[in-house]
Amino acid sequence: MGWLQLFFLHPVSLYQGAAFPFALLFNYLCNMDSFPTHARYLFLLAGGGTLAWAAMGSFSVLVFIPALCSVVLIYSLDPQEVHRWTFFFQMSWQTLCHLGLHYTEYYLQEPSSMRFCITLSSLMLLTQRVTSLSLDICEGKVEKASGGIRSRSSLFGHLCKALPYFSYLLFFPALLGGPLCSFQRFQACVQGSSPLCRRHSFWALTWRGLQILGLECLKVVMREVVSAGAGLADCQQFQCVYVMWSTAGLFKLTYYSHWLLDDSLLCAAGFGSEFGQSPGEEGYIPDADIWTLETTHRISLFTRKWNQSTTQWLRRLIYQHGRAWPLLQTFAFSAWWHGLHPGQVFGFLCWAVMVEADYLIHTFANLFIRSWPMQLLYRTLTWAHTQLIIAYIMLAVEVRSISSLWLLCNSYNSVFPMVYCILLFLLAKRKCKLN
């Protein structure tokens, strides 16, 4: 039974795997001239609706309603007003749904429904696509469909013009996971403007499959290690460091496996990195850069490479528009987007401080460390420290509850972020004197 746990027993992985043949079918049909553009949009939309109903049940209405309302807002408002109103509506709706989860978990103290958790995850991804599209329209990268709700066009004409938007917001390869695909890339691949967009790479998907299998095998081993050892409530002194590191390792393996599976589904449908891009089209950004994440000695680089498409989305949505403390604003919004659980608020704010400290520490270190033996020693120590700080943040974000967060903060693990906080204070003070 232990080896059966390698294959798609997580609900999201199960539904993503079930959608895989339909992604390959869509890619195959797109190579046929007899498969028109409107039929392609409808195929993706119908697949998204079916997958949502299968995975979420009646909770899928919580995804359909904001998708419909967002299209109405996009179609009826002026381009300069689209982003403000869609952002406000989408985040308000998502926050209300997250409050429902808070009510269930913290007030009623009941386990939340798996279907509702899948719905919230899909809703977060929908927020990415809605705000990405609204920003593209506001910045003039995407030309909004002509006409509006009040124009004299027939209902069928309105629906035909709005179909690309509906299809983009609910297309099944990205409904439950996957890197953020821009509307420009989505439209280019569906319309077949790039000859490479339809060329399915068998070996690329095979390689991803082998990577997923390897990660799942490592997950089984790591799960045995974690379950056999003590927890944060039972560990003693430096044993808690090992508990934190092994638990965070299990979390990271789970993320890597899911990201590769989501990326494979998008590639199978023709929206991935193996299929090229059109001139002027935004490039495809996969979420997983495992080598960099596991070898970097800089928290700032880890932050940029962790869930890359979401990082780019947050940078564009919040960081580039922040006037005061843009880094803190970005991480605070990320905590809001994730649901504002206590552990998430603490974890993301701690992450922001660690990134700020990372910039100062490495800037000063590069000025004073010259010899290669010292550089090697410095890189080794900062790599270990970076991985331990990331493990600390990951546990804070994932455990979410106040009681588990209290155990983490009261353990020896808090020494690692505290060291960076002290260095941040000292180096910031020295920087002010030098300026």
Please give the positions annotated as active site.
307, 338
Give the 3-state secondary structure of residue 412: helix
DSSP 33: T
CB atoms within 10 A of CB 236: 10
Burial class (CB in 10 A: 0-12, 13-18, 19+), 14: middle
Q: What is the per-residue burial (b if ≥16 Cβ within 10 Å, else e) of 401-420?
A: eeebbebbeebebeebbeeb
> Hunting for tokens 């199960």 — which residue is that?
14
* Residue closest to 170 by CA, chosen among 213, 123, 109: 123
* Residue closest to 344 by CA, chosen among 404, 421, 398: 398
Task: Please say whether the beta carbons of 69 and 89 come within 8 A.
Answer: yes
Residue 366 tokens, joined: 């590069």
* Residue closest to 93 by CA, chosen among 71, 126, 51: 126
Cα of 157 vs its chain's centroid, Å? 35
Query: DSSP for 385-401?
Result: HHHHHHHHHHHHHHH-S
**R_g of the chain, CA atoms, integer Å:** 23
Query: DSSP for 113-134?
Result: PHHHHHHHHHHHHHHHHHHHHH
